[in-house]
Amino acid sequence: MENKKPKATSAGHQLGILAMTLLVVSAMFGGGIFNIPQNMSQSAALGAIIIAWIVTALGIFFLAKTFQILSSVKPEMKSGIYMYSRAGFGKLVGFLVAWGYWMSTAFGNVGYAVLLMDALNYFFPPWFKGGNTWQAVALASVCIWGMSFMVIRGVKAATVLNNIGTIAKFVPVLIFIAIALFYAIEYHHFSIDFWGNMKSNALHDKPLGSVFDQIKSTMLVTLWMYIGIEGAVVLSDKSDAKTVGKATIFGFIITTILYVAVSVLPYGFFSQGELATMSPPSTAAILSQLVGHWGEIMINVGVIIALLSSWLVWTMLVAELPWACAKDGAFPKVFAKTNSAGVANVSLWTSTVVMQLAMLLVYFSNNAWNVMLSITGVILLPAYIGSSAYLWRLIFTKQYPMKAAYGATTALLTSIIATVYGFWLIYAAGLSYILVGCVIYTIGLLVFYKARKEESPDEPAFTRSEFIISVVMVAVAIISLVMLFNGMLPEIYSF
């Protein structure tokens, strides 16, 4: 009998529907949910918030549906979030999507570190205040490396811890919703200042402007809540296409219900102005007023559990794309190396170094979390747009399978809506963050050059069109840096 050696992957194990769904939920369901009431009410009243959730849920649904369709018609494209863009728009575009996604996951993990330290400050003030004291940076650095050491033992072991953490962090959220439903018996309170046009000094309210502007600003918050919906697709090498698709949709439904409940129910007993002025995490402040000190403690513990669980998932994701890209020749070959547990160790440790450097920068920053969060979203969006645009392209070039589980009309409608939604979010993010995002993408050109020379040493690293794109990117990056260091990008220049 032939003794076949198992195929090496970055994890080496197949994950079932429950594990994949929990990975998707945990990737999205981080500590941010515990501050949704305050985040959403910053610039919008209840009416605009409800509309924003409807619009966002539709956009994210079609994005999730895009991933489900692509995993069905292109099951051979493992780690599809990168390969979809590469197959549809060439090696450079595919690389840039992968590079941006990789950087966004690394920056996002540092964001988790900052939030975790801020949550710990509730129990140990003022050592970790703001997440950027020297004590916070030191402990966060230990956590960054600790997460990587857990993942290096294998994704299967890490997912067991993630499953426990995901289930555990549901408890405080469900308790919050139950208490909110119990206290929200004065249903007429939901209609007070429904569109944000009233002003009451006693309630800290102020007119919030047009409903459109309220919706636009609030939708940016909802976007951050859904980052991670592609988790099952990124880890698609660990399961079959059917499981990947179902996990994505199930994760979307679960998180949407929870997000809407946590952001809307507090309006049954607090005004927009009261919610907007609460200290984070606002769910803790709400329960403190409703049930006392124990509610505040429970929420802060929930924040810590949620952050640790989501952070673990994103540590798994951060090593996945460089490994997949290296196997395909888009990243230098060294990133394709794996250890005895099948984990992409070089990719993981390189990512850890990137996260450590970013964490050190946090110490010198007064507004690191907000800036990092916004940049993370901008450099991640091309991965979403590239995937939906690829599905669109499959249909127009008549490459879409005739006997696919989803008809071409359904796929076309799904891809168009998802693509338009992605471009809308880039517009809503603002020019400043787009320019800084271009700088991050431009740095990646050096890695692309090395990878291409390794793959084809006797051929030019860039095609003619790729060279033109690269020159434009370098020019925009230089202009962006000049503007940044001359204080012309006030949203960014906070260091």
Query: Which CATH number fits the domain that encloses residue 155?
Result: 1.20.1740.10
Query: Contact 35/224 with Cβ under 8 angstroms?
Result: no
Give pLDDT, residue 11: 43
Angstrom distance (rounded) from CA 225 to CA 60: 11
Radius of gyration of the chain (CA): 22
Say how many C-beta atoms besides its own lie within 10 A of residue 101's C-beta: 29
Residue 336 lies in a domain: yes
Q: Please tell me the predicted confidence (pLDDT) of residue 248.
A: 77
HSE (side-chain half, CA atoms, 13 Å) at 194: 8
Q: What is the pLDDT of residue 444?
A: 94
Is the residue at 368 inside a domain? yes
Which residues span the domain enclosing 284?
17-429
Is residue 436 one of the residues assigned to a domain? no
* Residue 491 located in a structural domain: no
pLDDT score, position 419 = 92
List the one residue out of 342, 26, 292 whose CA is nearest residue 159: 26
Hey, CA dihedral for 68, 236, 381, 494, is it positive or negative?
positive
> Quick check: is 492 in a domain?
no
Do residues 36 and 120 lie in contact, with contact meaning Cβ atoms separated by under 8 Å?
no
User: Within the chain, which residues score under 50 in pLDDT?
Assistant: 1-12, 495
Which tokens in the block code for residue 121? 């400050």
pTM of the model: 0.81
| C-beta neighbour count of 336 within 10 angstroms | 20
Give φ, ψ of 90 to 5 degrees. 100, 170
| Number of domains composing the chain | 1
Identify the pLDDT of residue 333. 92
Residue 359 belongs to a domain: yes
Structural domain contains residue 274: yes
pLDDT tens digits, one per residue of 55-67:
899 998 898 889 8
**Within a domain: residue 471?**
no
Q: What is the pLDDT of residues 429-488, one digit of tens each?
A: 778 888 988 999 999 999 999 999 998 888 888 999 999 999 999 999 999 999 988 878
Residue where the block lists tokens 């895009």: 66
Q: Which two tokens stand for residue 95?
A: 């690389």
